[in-house]
């Protein structure tokens, strides 16, 4: 059964409320602009946020954190600036390519932000190296449109909590969006709260003591 409800009838909304009351608002995704959030979403692939922060700081120090500046920057020079993010040649190429496509198709980053969510997702997923998680991160945090970001933490926590483990990315995404009434603020917070839970308690080897979900979890490890 495609349901995000465990045998004790706890749902996504229950998890959200428990985590929110325990951890408080997360204020994620960090970024001074929507464009910075897009850049961060691409750079954070296969690395830690700490490494991405170094790259973002380097871009800002060189006054390069803008659509036009990165668009006009030589790809090799961009790769050196974002080197701390790892896979920097590949990421420089991906970042340049998506900006070129946005410029060609929509004219400007501001006009890209105005397009419909489904059109945005179709466009982003058509770009080389942009998968569902990155696309939905951009849609939710940069474009501020309702899209839930399903990552490895989500699968781990949902499995342990007793939700249907056969559900794929799209099913989980759609169900969470439905449970949270496609509320952008709640979708942002829920993703961030799950990340915080996974880093603090629901690790690969779980630390269940003091975990706010422990009394309700089915502990499927």
Top-tier CATH class for 34-142: mainly alpha
CA distance 123 to 1: 31
**Mean pLDDT of all residues in 117-126:** 98
The pLDDT of residue 199:
95
Is residue 2 predicted with pLDDT exceeding 60? no
pLDDT at 1: 42
Average pLDDT over residues 183-209: 96
Mean pLDDT computed over 97-101? 97
Answer yes or no: are the C-beta atoms of 65 and 109 closer than 8 Å.
Answer: no
Overall average pLDDT of the 167-179 stretch: 93
The mean per-residue pLDDT over the stretch 169-176 comes to: 94
Give the model confidence (pLDDT) of 200-217 as tens digits: 999 999 999 999 999 988
Alpha carbons within 13 angstroms on the beta-carbon side of residue 27 total 4
| Range of weakest confidence among 35-44, 156-165, 201-210 | 156-165
Check whether 221 has a pLDDT greater than 70.
no
55-95 per-position pLDDT tens digit: 999 999 999 999 999 999 999 999 999 999 999 999 999 99
Q: What DSSP character marks residue 85? A: G
Alpha carbon distance 24, 15 (integer Å): 13
Mean pLDDT of all residues in 179-200: 97
Give how far the C-alpha of residue 179 lies from the chain's centroid of Cα atoms, to the nearest Å.
18
Q: Could you tell me the pLDDT band of residue 140, with boundaries at 50, 70 and 90?
A: very high
pTM value? Answer: 0.93
Cβ 51 vs Cβ 86: under 8 Å: yes
Given the structure tokens 């973002």, which residue do they identify? 56
How far is residue 152 from each of residues 132, 171, 186, 198, 199, measured CA to CA in Å?
12, 15, 19, 10, 12
Q: Mind giving me the DSSP string for 94-163?
A: HHHHHHHHHHHHHSSHHHHHTS-HHHHHHHHHTSTT--HHHHHHIIIIIS--S-----HHHHHHHHHHT-
């Amino acid at each position: 059964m495609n349901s995000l409800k465990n045998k004790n009838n706890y749902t996504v909304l229950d998890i959200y409320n428990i985590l929110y009351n325990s951890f408080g608002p997360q204020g994620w995704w960090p970024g001074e602009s929507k464009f910075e959030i897009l850049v961060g979403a691409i750079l954070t692939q296969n690395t830690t946020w700490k490494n991405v922060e170094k790259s973002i700081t380097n871009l800002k120090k060189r006054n390069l954190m803008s659509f036009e500046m990165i668009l006009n920057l030589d790809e090799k020079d961009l790769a050196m600036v974002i080197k701390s993010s790892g896979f920097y040649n590949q990421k420089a190429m991906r970042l340049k390519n998506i900006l070129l496509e946005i410029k060609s198709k929509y004219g400007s980053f501001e006009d890209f932000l105005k397009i419909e969510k489904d059109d945005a997702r179709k466009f982003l997923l058509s770009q080389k190296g942009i998968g569902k998680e990155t696309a939905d991160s951009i849609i939710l945090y940069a474009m501020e449109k309702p899209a839930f970001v399903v990552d490895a933490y989500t699968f781990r926590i949902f499995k342990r909590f007793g939700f249907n483990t056969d559900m794929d990315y799209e099913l989980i995404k759609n169900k969470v969006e439905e449970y949270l009434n496609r509320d952008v603020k709640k979708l942002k917070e829920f993703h961030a709260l799950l990340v915080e839970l996974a880093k603090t308690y629901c690790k690969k080897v779980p630390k269940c003591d003091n975990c706010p979900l422990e009394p309700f979890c089915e502990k499927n490890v």
